[in-house]
Chain A
Amino acid sequence: MKKMKVLIGNYGSGKTELALNFAFRAAEAGERTELLDLDMVNTYFRLTERGRMTRMKEIRLVSPNFACSGIETLSLPAEVASAFAMDWDTVIFDVGGDAVGATAVGRYHEDFMELEPGALEVLNVVNTRRPLAGTVEKVLHLQEEMQIHSRLKITGMINNTNLATATTTEELRHGYEILKEVSRLSGIPVAYTSGKKDMLDAFLAEGHDPQYIGQPLYIGTFMQRDWDSWIHGLK
């Protein structure tokens, strides 16, 4: 059965990083994998910048017209239809941030409706260290808005709480507490908790309720800026 994952979420929640991780994992398991860059909002730091990396792993990458070309008027390519028409094992949609970004995926809601039951995962990637996702109310609000704009029902949340290079297990705990409450109120389960191996292992060892952790997802970082790792202020 063709499996599809649609990653939506707040700006900067880590959708692209997770899209790459899911795609690499599938490709390494020998699955025929397609990855779609459906971010119609950002012009910098987007999935298509890692095009070479994905092609080397024999993942088919679909990008918006003019992505990474120095033009900001992106448009959806007809090639998106290949996700539905062709015979893939795994298809991953990396959608732009917030409700604005989620709008792009709404265009395909009829195609999604024709998928076999259980084939589609619509995942809300949450980083509670982002200012607009820092409270239960904010996550619920964003979730509602994104569902309306994407015309899709969110099937699960991903706790991907991080502070880039400054991440500690405290971040995952912060995300856990907020998503526990969001899950209780919305009925949407926590499908995954993601993080670098050492961080995630330390968090899992703390013995939190597995219901609000979902599947642990060890991730690598592929979207970091190769040239630096420092946080710098004047203090």
Chain B
Amino acid sequence: MALTLMKGSEAIAEAAIRAGARFFFGYPITPQTEIPEYMSARMPEIGGCFLQAESEVAAINMVYGAAGTGERVITSSSSPGVSLKQEGISYIASAKLPCVILNVMRGGPGLGSIQASQGDYFQATKGGGNGDYHLLTYAPASIQEAIDIMMFAFDKAEKYRVPVLFLADGIIAQMMEPVEMPEMVDFKVDPEKKPWAATGWKPGDDPAKRAVINSLYIETEALSVHNESLQATYREIEKNEVMWENYKTDDAEFVITAFGTVSRVVKSAVDELRAEGVKVGLFRPISVWPFPSDALRETAVRDQVKAVLDVEVNEGQMLERRDQAEDPRNEGGYVNVCRI
């Protein structure tokens, strides 16, 4: 299949459509406005729905409603806009609805600025909204990887009935790369496979089959049971869905950890250092929740490894995982952070 040269925003939007997304709700914000722009032209062509909401809060609630029908629904925004969506995301997580949310990170906190950043790692991996929930969260490092992840993101979201979050950054959305776009997936809502979906209950139908989309549990006991079922799902995801990349770490004396676009800068640095004879490698989480803790420990906690360097475009948020990798024989000072 021929390669095309695509901008990250366009490619991610097109991949979502090819993966079966037919509903997009969003609100413009730099550096991801090209995603809604692309969707606004493309969705009508394929009989889908593009709707520019009056705000991010409205957009995520539209996602909540549309996802309840079992359709493939997506929204995108950038950091401050994703903050606005957090209440809705928490509701969607509680209601166990599959959907895909894109965060094209920019500088923060607050309105911040429009340059690329990785400052929303905490928000993405440790909740964001209220309550005990997680999002299956991927941090793609290239446009092709973002496309490839998109092609299974809806399947995962539906399998576990959780929202999937793409933790991308402005560089991924704005840069251009040659990519291979997969074929269109033939997606249709199958009510048999999605008994939870509100697909049209009529008076006279079996009352037990009525789909109720809800995140309110007035009885404490019921809420407790609900939370236990959510947690059981998260344990399952932690067991099955961890993804990472090891790059030249087999004989590495120095391990650098990085996610997303930054890992590419690191990869170039690894190659340059290798050419000088330095035994250095990269460990890159692809899923940042669930975090590949075991793989990091296996990579970093070895006698041959002299030091681990963590590189992020933030104040070292992923570094907080150092407890997972730290060699108990080295008391502190094992992991250093390099802030960009």
Contact = CB atoms under 8 A, between A and B. Distances in A.
A110 interface: no
B146 to A, nearest CB: 10
B4 A70 contact: no
Interface string A215-230: 0000000000101111
Interface in A202-235: 225, 227-235
B178 A129 contact: yes
Contacts of A131: 4, 6, 10, 14
Contacts of B31: 43-44
Nearest to B149: A234
A87 to B, nearest CB: 37
Nearest to B37: A100
Given A127-B5, A233-B142, A225 B180 contact: no
Contacts of B180: 233
B115 interface: yes
Nearest to A163: B178
B28 to A, nearest CB: 10
B145 interface: yes
Contact of B148 (A127, A225, A233): A233
Contacts of B176: 12, 45, 164
A-side interface mostly: loop
A134 B293 CA distance: 44
Q: In which size bucket is the chain A interface?
A: 20 to 34
B147 A228 contact: no
A134 B268 CA distance: 32
A88 to B, nearest CB: 31
Interface string A38-73: 000011110000000000000000000000001110
B265 A234 contact: no
A230 B267 contact: yes
Contact of B265 (A164, A165, A166, A227): A227
A164 B8 CA distance: 14
A196 to B, nearest CB: 15
B171 A44 contact: yes
Interface in B1-50: 2-7, 10, 14, 30-31
Contacts of A192: none
Contacts of A235: 148
Contacts of A162: 5
Contacts of A228: 264-265, 267-268
A191 B169 CA distance: 38
B114 A233 contact: no
Interface string A1-25: 0000000000110000000000000
B178 to A, nearest CB: 4
B5 A163 contact: yes
A44 B114 CA distance: 9
Given A164-B176, A165-B178, A232 B141 contact: yes
B84 to A, nearest CB: 18
Contacts of A129: 2-5, 178
B174 A164 contact: no
B113 interface: yes
Interface of A: 11-12, 42-45, 70-72, 127, 129-131, 134, 162-166, 225, 227-235
